[in-house]
A and B are shown apart, each in its own frame.
Chain A
Amino acid sequence: MRVLVIEDDKETAQFLQKSLKENGHTADLAGDGESGLALAMDGAYDVLIIDRMLPRLDGLSVIKSLRAQGNRTPVLILSALGEVDDRVKGLRAGGDDYLTKPYSYSELLARVEALGRRTVPEEQQTRYTVGDLVLDRLSHRVTRGGDHILLQPREYRLLEYLMQHAGQVVTRTMLLEHVWDYHFDPQTNVIDVHVSRLRAKIDKNFDKPLLHTVRGAGYTIRDGPA
């Protein structure tokens, strides 16, 4: 995946470049809004990581100019600013996801990978399949090895999101944001209980587990070792 990091703090930018490289991505750096905008317009990037506060041209203006010129590259906004309004403003300007500093790298990586995959039109897909687990989005039926699995609506949405990102790490915050549409800190690990209930339904009576916990990061659903 080709990633462009527009971030004025050298140390953060280099940390991101190095870490993304370790995970098999290539990252270019831009130190200010103007050069970042120029690079983003020229290069074919899969994901843009844009800091909100940048010299010369602030992050939101960079995103607005990109969108105004028809560039639809997914954007992850990084911000040291508080939550609530700033997140709304960021998304309204054309950002696709929003992460508040300080963030953990695993959170950032999971979001970048999820955004990069979004360029494939997954939304129209009517069936998700992982191993012998099948989720039919038209009939809302979930089967594993042909057996019908009865899920609560929320469990269905949880599984749908996980399967949409099959093979990728999905963090607890991402689940909270996309499955529940909550953008606040739940204080305790409420997500884990929901995931373990889902796991009991889809993995318990089968030899091969599909839903894996990724230590220090989140969850992933995949046919194969975690």
Chain B
Amino acid sequence: MTALLERVAKAASTTAFGLSAAAVAFFLFVAAIVVGFLFWQTNNLLTDQVLSTLNAEARILSSEMNVGGRAKLTQTVTALSHPQGTGLYYLADRSGAKIAGNLNRIPPELDGAPRGGVFSYQPSTAGSGATHLAVAIPVDLGSDLHLIVGRDIEDQRVFADSIRRIFLLGFGLLSVAGLLGGLAVSRLILNRMDEITATSRSIMEGDLSRRIPMAGKGGELDALAENLNEMLDRIEGLMSGLREVSDNIAHDLKTPLNRLRNAAEAALRDPRGAEAYREGLERTIEKADELIKTFNALLLIARLEAGPLEESVETFDLGRFVEDVAELYTPAAEEAGFVLSIEVEQGVRVRANRQLIGQAVANLIDNAIKYSRAGEAGNAITVRVFRLGEGAAFSVGDRGPGIAPGDRERALKRFVRLEASRTKPGTGLGLSLVAAVARLHHGEVRLEDNQPGLKVVVTLSGKCLVPACETAGDARVSLAAQ
């Protein structure tokens, strides 16, 4: 019992309940005004009717007095005065003594009311104590006689009373139903809220895998739960990314830091003195630069994952730009024994971050040069730009050893360097930076089999594509197109 009370009290203290209670109260208030006004109007109408009947009767009776005199009037009043009738009469002489009529006295409520009014009286037929309501007006018959003509309106009163009672009962029922409805609604919402609260509490306590259950009815609360769940997915992804990175930083940065320390120590111990110190310092700076590069790449990835970079978005021709970046690498690739070929679809205009796209292309070409065997047959590196579905894509393919299907997803993670590449220089961040750039442009990175070799495809969503009609006025000639 107390548990139920507690639950009701909890539901009653919710915003939902408060709101529905306020809504019910407002509804009742307005309804009361409307009903009250109707009631008052009806009552007035009925009273007016009674009064006009009484006025007509008064005119007839006074004309009777004018024609037949006092005797005729007395006779008429006596005839009209039925003990059970609704017509009420009281005729008195100058001193106030009763001459005829079915009222016993001049009602005290009518004293000093020259235009008549409402009064209550005890009809002779009713049981003792029962009073009826009536309306009466005085009739002007000169100074000798007092005549009061009235009507019993007890029926009207009873009717009004019963209407009033029905309305009060109705209002009572409405309030109770409204409050119960409010309680029920707030209980429902409270249950869902409790679920959300419980979930978020266990998430706060460290269980990031918990999700808010959905009712599956597709209402606002489900939409809210879905959004919260999506947010939680993102947070969990970021958290696990962060955890992975900090693990990897500890692991992967320790090695170069240790090498840096060793280089400095070795230089200090070297008996050659000044010359060795100089060499040692140069090596130290070189190693520090590598570390800085790694940190910069990490920071950039973190920045990209934190959200969009609106300031530096530009509109440019993706094909022309990628061609341009590839051209930067052509001499270096040739020196390393590769043939860099570029196949570009014309007129793919995008609204994107030019420098980041450039970084991604640079990383991919650099990887292709680093990780595939130069000089052998099939030493081609192919850079492509093409439309893909609604969006655009660029790809870099090589004829190197490729990446086994099972390793592909892992290769996109930060600091992951597949065994084959551990001995080669590099930060282990190249591909994950490319993936972050793709995500920033609502696209993705796919590692594919180039048969043989590795093909990395970076897609940009259709949101980045600029419609062709906007490019009509652009007649700039690329300096780089060689």
Instruction: Tell me whether B319 is interfacial, beta carbon within 8 Å.
Output: no
Instruction: Tell me whether B366 is interfacial, beta carbon within 8 Å.
Output: yes
List B274-328 residues whose CB lies under 8 Å from chain A. Answer: 282, 285, 289, 292-293, 296-297, 299-300, 302-303, 309-312, 324-325, 327-328
When chains A and B are docked, how far (Å) is the Cα of A154 from the Cα of B297?
A: 28
Contacts of A152 in B (CB 8 A): 482
When chains A and B are docked, how far (Å) is the Cα of A174 from the Cα of B161?
A: 97
- Contacts A184-B359, A187-B430 given: A84-B480 contact, CB under 8 Å? no
Instruction: Tell me whether B166 is interfacial, beta carbon within 8 Å.
Output: no
When chains A and B are docked, how far (Å) is the Cα of A92 from the Cα of B302?
A: 24
Bin the interface of chain A by size. 20 to 34
Contacts of A193 in B (CB 8 A): 331-332, 335
Instruction: Tell me whether B362 is interfacial, beta carbon within 8 Å.
Output: yes
Contact call A154/B332, Cβ cutoff below 8 A: no
Contact call B328/A186, Cβ cutoff below 8 A: yes
Contact call A182/B328, Cβ cutoff below 8 A: yes
Contact call A102/B292, Cβ cutoff below 8 A: yes
Contact call A188/B366, Cβ cutoff below 8 A: yes
Contacts of A190 in B (CB 8 A): 328-329, 331-332
Instruction: Tell me whether A213 is interfacial, beta carbon within 8 Å.
Output: no
Contact call B355/A84, Cβ cutoff below 8 A: yes
Contacts of A92 in B (CB 8 A): 311
Contact call A157/B312, Cβ cutoff below 8 A: no
User: Per a CB cutoff under 8 Å, which of A100, A157, A184, A188 touches B479?
Assistant: A157
Contact call B312/A84, Cβ cutoff below 8 A: yes
When chains A and B are docked, how far (Å) is the Cα of A189 from the Cα of B289?
A: 14
User: Per a CB cutoff under 8 Å, which of B309, B335, B355, B482 touches A153?
Assistant: B482
Contact call B303/A82, Cβ cutoff below 8 A: yes
Ranked 3 nearest A-B pairs via Cβ: A184-B359, A193-B331, A187-B366
When chains A and B are docked, how far (Å) is the Cα of A83 from the Cα of B296?
A: 9
Report the minimum CB–CB distance from B192 to chain A (whole Å): 40
Instruction: Tell me whether B356 is interfacial, beta carbon within 8 Å.
Output: yes
When chains A and B are docked, how far (Å) is the Cα of A152 from the Cα of B324?
A: 14
Contact call A188/B292, Cβ cutoff below 8 A: no
Contact call A183/B355, Cβ cutoff below 8 A: yes
Contacts of B285 in A (CB 8 A): 104
Contact call A89/B311, Cβ cutoff below 8 A: yes
Contacts of B282 in A (CB 8 A): 216
Instruction: Tell me whether B369 is interfacial, beta carbon within 8 Å.
Output: yes
Bin the interface of chain B by size. 35 or more
Contact call B311/A85, Cβ cutoff below 8 A: yes
> Residue on A with the closest CB to B288?
A102
Contacts of B369 in A (CB 8 A): 188
Instruction: Tell me whether A10 is interfacial, beta carbon within 8 Å.
Output: no
List A189-219 residues whose CB lies under 8 Å from chain B. Answer: 189-190, 193-194, 197, 216
Instruction: Tell me whether B358 is interfacial, beta carbon within 8 Å.
Output: yes
Instruction: Tell me whether B353 is interfacial, beta carbon within 8 Å.
Output: yes
Which of A92, A153, A154, A184 counts the most chain B CB atoms within 10 A?
Answer: A184
Point out residues on A near B: beta carbons under 8 Å: 82-85, 87-89, 92, 100, 102, 104, 152-154, 157, 180, 182-190, 193-194, 197, 216
Contacts of B355 in A (CB 8 A): 83-84, 182-184
Contacts of A89 in B (CB 8 A): 311
Interface CB pairs A-B, < 8 A, 8: A82-B303, A84-B300, A154-B327, A157-B479, A182-B325, A185-B362, A187-B363, A187-B430
> Residue on B with the closest CB to A188?
B366
Contacts of A186 in B (CB 8 A): 328-329, 362, 366
- Contacts A82-B303, A84-B300, A153-B479 given: A184-B356 contact, CB under 8 Å? yes
When chains A and B are docked, how far (Å) is the Cα of A216 from the Cα of B285?
A: 10
Contacts of B325 in A (CB 8 A): 182
List B71-99 residues whose CB lies under 8 Å from chain A. Answer: none
> Residue on A with the closest CB to B366?
A187
Contact call A85/B479, Cβ cutoff below 8 A: no
Which of A87, A154, A187 counts the most chain B CB atoms within 10 A?
Answer: A187
Contacts of A189 in B (CB 8 A): 332
> Residue on A with the closest CB to B440?
A84
Contacts of B312 in A (CB 8 A): 84-85, 87-88
Contacts of A184 in B (CB 8 A): 355-356, 358-359, 362
Contact call A153/B363, Cβ cutoff below 8 A: no
Contacts of B356 in A (CB 8 A): 84, 184
When chains A and B are docked, how far (Å) is the Cα of A189 from the Cα of B331?
A: 11
Contacts of A188 in B (CB 8 A): 332, 366, 369-370
When chains A and B are docked, how far (Å) is the Cα of A104 from the Cα of B479?
A: 32
Further contacts, 6 of them, CB under 8 A, given A186-B362, A187-B366: A82-B303, A84-B303, A154-B479, A182-B325, A184-B356, A184-B358
Report the minimum CB–CB distance from B234 to chain A (whole Å): 20
> Residue on A with the closest CB to B361?
A184
Contact call A185/B296, Cβ cutoff below 8 A: yes
> Residue on A with the closest CB to B291?
A102
> Residue on B with the closest CB to A80?
B299
When chains A and B are docked, how far (Å) is the Cα of A190 from the Cα of B333?
A: 9
When chains A and B are docked, how far (Å) is the Cα of A194 from the Cα of B359?
A: 19
